[in-house]
Structure 1
Amino acid sequence: MNAEPAPGADIRAQRTARLAACLARAADGELGALDEVVAELNPLLWHVARSQGLGDEDAADVVQTTWLELVRQVHTIRSPLALTGWLVSATKREAWRVNARRRKQIGPGVDVLADSPDAAAGPAEQVLTNERDRTLWRHFAQLNERCRVLLRVVAQVGRPDYTEIADALDMPRGSIGPTRGRCLAKLRGLLLSDPAWSTE
C-alpha cells in the first residue's frame, strides 16, 4: 500500500520548481524573473537582518544590498535550497559589516577606553579557540546539505519563525524542530568522538 503524500507536499514541490525556473530564467538574462524569488524570500532576509540588531533603515539597506549581490552572482547559484542558504549568509555578512562600520563611527571616548579592561583573549586562549572553531566547522561540513542550511538559518535568528523557515526551505513546519534536533545530535556525536574537541 502506497503511503499518502505529506500534506502540502504538492505545494512545496510546485514552489521549488517555480523558484528553480525563476533562477534559470534569471541566469539566462531575464533578471525580472527574480521578482518572484524576492517575494518568496524577502521576509526571511528581513528577519535575519533584524536579528543582528539592525534598525529598520539599516535592515532595509542590508536586504537591498543582498539582492543586488544575488544579481551579480546569479550564475553561481544552483538550486533553490542553496539559494536560501546563500542569501541568508550574505545577509548576515552584510549586517556584520554595517554594525562594524557603525561602531567605528560612534566609538567610545578616550576616557572610557582608559578605564576599560583589555577584553582580548591571550595568545594561548586564542589558539585554543581557533582550534575548537576549526574542529567544529570541519565536522559541520560533514552534515548533509539540508542540515547545514537549516542550522545556519536557525542559528542566525534570535527566535526563529518556524513557519517562515519552513516556507523558505520547502520543509513541513512540524519537521523543523525534529530535523534540527537530529542535525544537532549528529554534530554533537561527531564532535564528542573527536579527541581534538574539548567539552571543558
Structure 2
Amino acid sequence: MTEPGHSCGTAVLVRRVAGGDERAWRDLVDRNGGIVWGAARAYSATRADAEDVWQATWLSLAENLHRLRDAEALPGWLVTTARRESLRLARARRRESPAGLDGVLTETADDGGDPESAALRSVLAARLARAFSQLSGRCQQLLRVMAVAPEASYEQISRALGVPRGSVGPKKQRCLRTLRQRMLALGGVEEPEVAL
C-alpha cells in the first residue's frame, strides 16, 4: 500500500502545497529530503553547516514556490539551491576563519575512553583531516556524501553532486586510494605509537 501523497506526482504535490496543504508539504519534504541532505552535506564542511543549508533550502522553496515553472524539475532545483546555499555559507565561514580551517573531520565524539586512547584517536583524526584536506574538492564532496548517507544509491549521489551516474563508483575508488596514499605519506594509516 502506498502512503497518501507518494502515489501522486510532484506537480500535484506542489499544487497542494501552494494551496496550503501541510500534509502535502511533509510528503514533498519526505520525498526529496534525501537528495537535499546529500547535496547539503556534500558541499558543507560540518554537519551543523549542512543542517543550516537544509533549513535554508526548504525556506527558499517556501518563499519561491510560486515562481517554480516546472514542478517535475523540483529535485534539480532543490539540489542547485542546496549547493548555492552551501557555497554562500562556505564563503561566510572563510571570512570568519582567515586560515580557512573548517574542522571537517575534527568533529569527534567523546566516548569516555581512557586518555591514552583519546590522544591516539585525536592524532589519527588530525592526520586524517590533513590528508582529507589535500584531496580535490570533488573528492571531498563525494566522500562526505558517502560518509553521511551510506545508504544513498549511486543515482541519488549523481543527482546530488551533478555528476554522471557511471562515474560515481570509479571516482569513489580513486578518491579512497588517494586518501589512503596521503595517510601513508603522513604516517597515519596505523595508530601512532606513543612514547611512555
Give the TM-score normalised by structure 2: 0.49
